[in-house]
Structures are given as structure tokens and as C-alpha cells.
Amino acid sequence: NAGVTQTPKFQVLKTGQSMTLQCAQDMNHEYMSWYRQDPGMGLRLIHYSVGAGITDQGEVPNGYNVSRSTTEDFPLRLLSAAPSQTSVYFCASSSQTGRGTEAFFGQGTRLTVV
């Protein structure tokens, strides 16, 4: 009964370092997405995917890459971390069939770039 699993939960990076935030879901959901949450800004969409092999940009995509090779996994890559990417990152998945469902969110990854 895992739902959406994000790793790691916490991470500190130095400016210029790269890393990958992992996201996996076990609900066979077609749709997966990444959001970032900044104080006073709510959650903003970074990238999303409507199925394996299909990704697209959201509201704030710069500095991030994604790929979707399987239905289960949707990793988010920071190629060269910047202090402006300090944030809490949430991965979400949802089903696109039927009358629709809520988005299921992971526990979040708190990233600090120094």
C-alpha cells in the first residue's frame, strides 16, 4: 500500500551539483507530475507526464529535466543546482480514466542548495 514514494526526504546540495529526485508509484496511474512549493507561493507545476515516453513542461520547468521510461517511475533531474531551487518538491500521480480521481502526493523532498 505504498502509493507515491519519493526519495530522498531531505537533501543539501552545493551550487552547481547535480542530482535526481526519485518518484515511484504503484497504482498504475497514467499521469505523474512534479511540483515545487515555496513559501507564500502554493505549489507550482514543474513537469508532467501523461504516460510512459511522454513528458511536457509545466509552469516553472527551467533548470529541471524529466523522463518517463516506465509507468511507475518519474525522476526529476537537477542538472546544475542553484540556490533558487531551494524548495520542497512534491511528486504526484493520478488516474486519467473514468470520472477522474484526486492526485496522490508523495511525502515531499526538502532540498536546500547552498
Partner 1 sequence: AQKVTQAQTEISVVEKEDVTLDCVYETRDTTYYLFWYKQPPSGELVFLIRRNSFDEQNEISGRYSWNFQKSTSSFNFTITASQVVDSAVYFCALSEASSYGGNQGNLIFGKGTKLSVKP
Strands (E), the chain: 4-7, 10-13, 19-25, 31-38, 42-51, 54-57, 64-66, 76-78, 87-94, 104-105, 109-113
Stretch that binds partner 1, among 14-22, 38-46, 66-74, 77-85 (CB under 8 A): 38-46
Rule CB under 8 A: choose which of 33, 55, 85, 87 binds partner 1. Answer: 33
Site string for partner 1, 1-30 (x = CB under 8 A): ------------------------------
Find the radius of gyration of the CA atoms of the chain: 13
Q: Which residues bind partner 1 (CB under 8 A)?
A: 31-33, 35, 40-45, 48, 50, 58, 88, 90, 92-105, 107-108, 110
